[in-house]
Amino acid sequence: MNSQIKLHRATGGIVPEVAARAHIKNILPITKLALKKAKLNLENIDYLAVTAGPGLVVSLIVGVEFVKGLSLATDKPIIPTNHMAGHLYSVFIKHASAVKFPIVALVVSGGHTMLVLMKSFSNSKVIGQTVDDAAGEAFDKVARLLNLPYPGGPKISKLAKLGQAIIQFPRPMLHENNYNFSFSGLKTAVRYYIDDLQKTKNLPRTKTIAFGTRADIAASFQQAIIDVLVGKTMKAARNYKAKTIALSGGVAANLALRQALLKLAKQQHLKFIVPNYELCTDNAGMIATAAYFKLKAGYKPVHFSKVKADPNWEL
Ligand code: KG4
Ligand code: ZN
């Protein structure tokens, strides 16, 4: 595995050109390493899968153009794969056999928050998504308000363990009659709370607030976001008579969220499936898995001349 987190921490988030340059530097060595670890060489591979979207176009282009080169050199066809399909199918890396449909899948990443209804491996429909910030984005933005480094999710969940969820932040759209989400108001509520605190204590803007209070803010924010995610997922599971609940995407690495969904799924006698931690945040294994299911559903891999990065590709 190769991570660019340290690089992005230096700039407080992902700067597209910095990310793309790092991809260019790493893509060949990491491909060689993956083949070596799998004890395979390119001749043993049937098809080449690549993330073609959605995402930052400069990053997508690096992967897409690299795989086209590989395809030209090896004569293997390509399976262009949707990044969110990667997250969606990542739950099947561990749980492909004996899985029961329908599945209500909550996919929560830095760029997306969606509820997907899966009636079979090849039949899925997005039933709800965020109307503004994604769940991971909200974690990252609130982390910044608390002076925590990028990526914010893991830092907030660590800090939340030391605090109590005693501050009443809003649960946006929880009781609305749809499966959509909105997290930008929640982030603003946290910002106002911090601003008020600094004003009442007459602290200069740059002065950080007490550690215990920061921990309480982290715990309360995390609880608010979990209540909304879990509430809407369980509502969808009820209405669509789901037999399984799936959780994936970077935010699925959040232990409190995993535990909350597991508990409710158990109460309702539903199966709960979630990838191992390392397969929640972006990885190539999930792309290979989504490509495999696409192939199984009858997709014909294509010639490299047909493959193009699509930054807005919808699931
Ligand atoms: O899926 P992912 O790796 O990349 C995208 O497709 O966006 O998700 C990254 C997001 C970041 O916003 C990060 O803060 C969040 O996942 N994340 C977490 C945790 N670990 C990563 N959020 C909450 N709790 C975590 N433990
Ligand atoms: Zn992702």
pLDDT tens for each residue of 283-303:
999 999 999 999 999 999 999
**Four-point Cα dihedral 26, 32, 36, 37, nearest 10:** 30
Instruction: Answer yes or no: is pLDDT of 1 > 70.
Output: no
For the segment 49-73, the average pLDDT, to the nearest whole number, is 96
Distance CA 11, CA 32 (A): 29
- Output 16 or 162, whichever has higher pLDDT: 162
For the segment 215-236, the average pLDDT, to the nearest whole number, is 98
For the segment 110-116, the average pLDDT, to the nearest whole number, is 96
| Averaged pLDDT of the chain | 93
Cα 70 to middle of ligand 1, angstroms: 30
Terminal Cα distance for the chain, rounded: 26
Give just the sign of the alpha carbon dihedral 231, 236, 238, 239: positive
Give the position, in ligand 1's atom list, of the atom nearest the Cα of 136. Answer: 12
Q: Which amino acid is at 111?
A: G
Cα 45 to middle of ligand 1, angstroms: 30
pLDDT value for 112 = 94
For the segment 199-212, the average pLDDT, to the nearest whole number, is 72
For the segment 179-207, the average pLDDT, to the nearest whole number, is 85
Cα 253 to middle of ligand 1, angstroms: 7
Model confidence at 205, pLDDT cuts 50, 70, 90, reads low
Range name among 6-10, 31-35, 157-161, 201-205 with the lowest pLDDT average: 201-205
Q: Are strands 244-248 and 271-273 parallel, antiparallel or unpaired?
A: parallel
pLDDT value for 268 = 96
Instruction: Answer yes or no: is pLDDT of 206 > 60.
Output: no
Model confidence at 21, pLDDT cuts 50, 70, 90, reads confident
CB atoms within 10 A of CB 150: 18
Residue percentage of the chain with pLDDT more than 70? 96
Give the position, in ligand 1's atom list, of the atom nearest the Cα of 281. Answer: 3
Tokens of 160: 């939340």
Among 8, 84, 88, 109, residue to substitute to test ligand 1 (most atoms within 8 Å of Cβ): 109
For the segment 180-209, the average pLDDT, to the nearest whole number, is 84
Per-residue pLDDT of 117-137, as tens digits, reads: 999 999 999 999 999 999 999
Instruction: Answer yes or no: is pLDDT of 2 > 70.
Output: no
Nearest CA to ligand 1 atom 3: 281
Residue percentage of the chain with pLDDT more than 90? 84
Per-residue pLDDT of 151-163, as tens digits, reads: 899 999 999 999 9
pLDDT value for 275 = 97
pLDDT value for 20 = 80
| In contact, 261 and 245? CB cutoff 8 Å | yes
Give the position, in ligand 1's atom list, of the atom nearest the Cα of 150. Answer: 14
Cα 42 to middle of ligand 1, angstroms: 32
Instruction: Answer yes or no: is pLDDT of 73 > 80.
Output: yes
| In contact, 276 and 80? CB cutoff 8 Å | no
Reported pTM: 0.94
Q: Which amino acid is at 178?
A: N
- Output 23 or 239, whichever has higher pLDDT: 239
